[in-house]
Structure 1
Amino acid sequence: MAVTQLVEDILMDLVESMKKIGIKIETVMQESSSGQFEMTFAVVEGIEAADMLADFKTAAYVYLQKKGLNVEFMTCLHPGLDSNGCHYNFSLWDSHGRNVFADLDDEEKLSTISRHWLAGMVEHAPAMVALMCPTINCFRRIGSEWAPQFANWAEENRMASFRVKIERGGNVYIENRLPSGACNPYLVLAGTLAAGMDGLRRKLVLPRPMDESLRLPPTLGDALIALEMDGLMREALGEKLVELFVHSKRTFEVDEFKAFGELSDEEMLLKEKEYYYHPY
């Protein structure tokens, strides 16, 4: 049996095994790097999305371990290969079952609500990066191919931080492309909601598509500063949570890795793997 057929059989069996415990995987595809695969989950409401991803990570580890294999969600494992992202797709619906991000009469099919929501995400993107790219290693992905570099949005553009998708029937949803494979899905959900709702409350004006005036933090240290300076995020997440998150990341990751500043990039990646590579 060819290796590719063996891998396909394992993945399909994994999908069926996940289905039995309520984890609904809709698509599986091979990505651009060796051993890299993308899976998409069925549409669910609210916090169920975070629950599903958290459960999947644990269940996939157990299943693949029995096959003598490992699954790894570390953002960047090898130099020159594409990194692992964890895009969060979502839409907003009212109690009547109407997608309130959509406006079929608008030239761009975007409602006023979706514009304010997107504007909030763009404004708070630098702080969101700390929550959604929570390791030193994650920042090898920021600005790389198919990953965002600026706090911006666009329709059907994979280089934007927030990609707007319009379905054939007119439904609109947003793909938050900031999260890395190492993200905590609950913080992704919390940060996305806090930023979007702030845009709604303050009726923020949406910048032009693919605006490059606000660059994303290039390092974890910079992202932590952005989070500390974002009053809305501190209030929404809770001062204590932000304080503990920033302290632990700064003390046990940023400060520790400063000691390796003289290493080459390849040597630094090896250090990152020593610190972060823990196969599920």
Structure 2
Amino acid sequence: IHDRKGIQGKVQLLAGGQTTDVTGEWSVFPLKLDAPLLSSLKWKAGEENAPGPKFWRGSFKLTKVADTFLDLRTWGKGVIWVNGHCLARHWNIGPTQTAYLPGAWLKEGENDVVILDLLGPEKPVLAGLEKPILDQLRPELDFARKGSKKGELVLKGQKAALETAFPAGAEVQDVKFTKPLEGSQFVLEMLNAHDGKPFAAIAELDLLDPEGKSISHASWTVAYADSEELTGEDGSASNAINGQTADFWHSEWKDAQPGYPHYLVIDLGAETKIGGFRYTPRAGNNPGRIKDYKVYAGSGFVREGK
């Protein structure tokens, strides 16, 4: 499963229009968010709209104690403590925009709040609500949904290694090549869908070695996807190679509905012998089930955009 943490690629400094690669040895260590750490913090006045990771401290007074929901919509992403209790993680998307605060953790008089915000708040304010906010997803604030790299697909003059069709149905489908292919990139060109609609979806795409065993995804990246849904749901192209079938890549459907053909190009990170592949359709009776398709293997299928 691709759930990587820490430094995953180049580290660069961007200043004055100049880009400088930073090289050297790196150490990764956890930040223990416990009582000793919180008590060791040195506090000072800060700017309200200061961006970047920071701890914030404040207080509020109560004349009556009761359960409430803290409104964290104007904050970014992080952790909140109330009166020394680690209350919750928060994020300004989805259901964690509010945090349930039991009255047992409050007291009459002054109450202390500490917030670690990794992004920086829009406004550093808190309020109590009677009900949680569960119906405002705000996917446009999800910084993880950046989409795949954009470039130019270069298939002109290329001959497909395979041109055939997937059978109808939601079953996992293994395809074996008559002769192993070799290359650092794998291209799936999708020509149409079984239901005749313009959508394409893949829950998981695996490549098989000449012995029929799955090839590790560890060095894979999405080199190109012509379309992916990032507004109505997380239909990122990377979902097709993350080792999980619970999510999926889906071509765009909310703001636009581009038609076939659709393209997905996987960069394998190195020259690889490919004996076949495994296609896992999106589960359930949903659109996007691919019918006719072509396969290419080689290198240089994507020209990076400027």
TM-score bracket for this pair, using the shorter chain length: under 0.3
Q: Please report the TM-score for the alignment, with normalisation by the length of structure 1.
A: 0.26
* Higher strand proportion (structure 1 or 2): 2
Give the number of the structure whose alpha-carbon radius of gyration is greater.
Answer: 2
- Larger helix fraction of residues: 1
